[in-house]
Amino acid sequence: EKDGHDWFMRKEIFEQPRAVADSLLGRRGADGQLQLDEMRLSDQDLRDVDKIIIIAAGTSFYAGMVAKYAIEHWCRIPVEVELASEFRYRDPILTSDTLVVAISQSGETADTLQAIRHARVQRSKVLAICNTNGSTIPRESDGVIYTHAGPEIGVASTKGFLTQLVACYLLALYLAQIKGTRYGDEISQVMDQLEQMPAHIETVLSKSEEVYALARDHVGSRSVLFLGRHAGYPVALEGALKLKEIAYLHAEGFAAGELKHGPIALVEEGLPILCVVPPRGRDQLHDKMISGIQEVRARGARTLCLAEEGDTAIEPYADVLFTLPQVPVLLQPLVAVVPLQLFACELATQLGHDVDQPRNLAKSVTVE
Ligand code: F6R
């Protein structure tokens, strides 16, 4: 049942090319237009949307952070991303033109469910992004985009996360199509790029031994930091969460630009810092990231860098370099998170932990 793997988690990491491909299947109509079968919200409803609030917990929240970047960039609709457990308690401003997007792998997370109930009372429209057919959250939503990860058994979410990302990109492109903020050929170009992602993820997985060796080198580490910028920031947060949940290791993710505002004080000789380097050539993201990496390295950090193939500028500053396929910055989380999943899985295995059943955690959190 684990297909020869030691853990469900590892099996599920390796299933990601298939899960991503399945989640993309059947989304392009014969006319080239995007279609989302269970959207159920009318085009007019969606055209009226003037604000989007994404609510989710844990890993699903990080998918929401990526969604914000994609939706704002492609659709020019303001997006807030909020932790489900915080949402109701701050008296959020909701109207009938607010679209609330609830992201939940299980569809049963109590905090997220209570948040959508609150939103519906305020007459906002609710769209669920969910992996579990017929679960409570999609049942109580106006529309749903199902991800097709298949059952996720490992408590730590992996393929659930990647397929949520896919659903978020599809939602963003669909809204762009309806709102007319992007032309059809641009949308189909991104769809083409998305359809290449399973092969890119496969490429990353084919280098798993490289990541495992790195994990084995860090069995004695007491703390690991993760840095990212833009869409790489949620990836850094997710990499840190994986390490906390299954390896019980202190780990923290930061937006690289925030380092100088405090966290850089943590850096000491030999501290491992995993750096998610954005692709080259957009704004100054890449160069800014490199200067952040230089800063921590100058203070003794050991820099473990994930950077796109051909990025020679990073070489002098990377103690370890893992190359990622060349993909657009917004889609980079789909490849960049995979080595971080493998890293946490292998490190936890080396430490002798039960990777599939980490202490104190449950697969679906049905208490508030
Ligand atoms: C992390 C993890 C949790 C879940 C969170 C939300 O690996 O699994 O952080 O992401 O509990 O769960 P869902 O998506 O089922 O609402």
Please list, in sequence order, all residues whose beta carbon lies within 8 angstroms of the beta carbon of residue 102, skipping any fewer than 6 positions away.
54, 55, 56, 84, 112, 115, 116, 126, 127, 128, 129, 130, 137, 141
340 lines ligand 1 (CB under 6 A): no
Residue 206 has pLDDT above 80, yes or no: yes
The share of the chain scoring above pLDDT 70, in percent, equals: 99
Residue 120 to residues 42, 114, 115, 168, 359: CA-CA distances in angstroms?
17, 10, 9, 21, 35
CA geometry: angle 106, 109, 110, nearest 5 deg: 155
Query: Using a CB cutoff of 8 Å and minimum separation of 24, what contacts does 39-43 make?
Result: 39/127, 39/143, 39/144, 39/145, 39/174, 40/142, 40/143, 40/144, 41/99, 41/125, 41/127, 41/142, 41/143, 43/178
Question: Do the Cβ atoms of 69 and 329 come closer than 8 Å?
Answer: no
Residue with the smallest CA separation from ligand 1 atom 16 is 104
Q: Which two tokens stand for residue 144?
A: 């749903």
Average pLDDT in the chain: 96
Question: Do the Cβ atoms of 128 and 141 come closer than 8 Å?
Answer: yes
110 lines ligand 1 (CB under 6 A): no
* Cα 337 to ligand 1 centroid, rounded to whole Å: 16
Residue 183 has pLDDT above 80, yes or no: yes
For the CA of 112, the nearest atom of ligand 1 = 16
Residue with the smallest CA separation from ligand 1 atom 7 is 156
The share of the chain scoring above pLDDT 90, in percent, equals: 92
Q: Where would I find the beta strands (DSSP E) of 134-196?
A: 143-146
pLDDT in tens, 318-357: 999 999 999 999 999 999 999 999 999 999 999 999 999 9
* Cα 263 to ligand 1 centroid, rounded to whole Å: 26
Confidence of residue 282 (pLDDT cuts 50, 70, 90): low
Q: Which two tokens stand for residue 202?
A: 């496969």
Q: Which pLDDT score, from 0 to 100, does residue 109 have?
A: 97
Which segment of 33-47, 222-236, 278-292 scores lowest on mean pLDDT?
A: 278-292
pLDDT in tens, 69-99: 999 999 999 999 999 999 988 889 999 999 9
For the CA of 56, the nearest atom of ligand 1 = 16
Active site residues: 363
Strand order from edge to edge, sheet including 320-324: 250-255, 223-228, 272-276, 302-308, 320-324
Residue 218 has pLDDT above 90, yes or no: yes
* Cα 245 to ligand 1 centroid, rounded to whole Å: 11
Mutate to test the pocket of ligand 1, among 13, 60, 114 (most ligand atoms within 8 A of CB): 60
Please list, in sequence order, all residues whose beta carbon lies within 8 angstroms of the beta carbon of residue 321, skipping any fewer than 6 positions away.
305, 307, 314, 315
Residue 366 has pLDDT above 90, yes or no: no
Distance CA 110, CA 191 (A): 33
Number of Cβ atoms within 10 Å of the Cβ of 154: 24
* Cα 158 to ligand 1 centroid, rounded to whole Å: 10
Residue 283 has pLDDT above 80, yes or no: no
* Cα 26 to ligand 1 centroid, rounded to whole Å: 26
Mutate to test the pocket of ligand 1, among 8, 13, 59 (most ligand atoms within 8 A of CB): 59
Which segment of 29-33, 46-50, 216-220, 350-354 scores lowest on mean pLDDT?
A: 29-33
Residue 121 has pLDDT above 90, yes or no: yes
85 lines ligand 1 (CB under 6 A): no
153 lines ligand 1 (CB under 6 A): no
pTM attached to this predicted model: 0.97
Distance CA 182, CA 194 (A): 16
124 lines ligand 1 (CB under 6 A): no
Q: Which two tokens stand for residue 188?
A: 């189909």
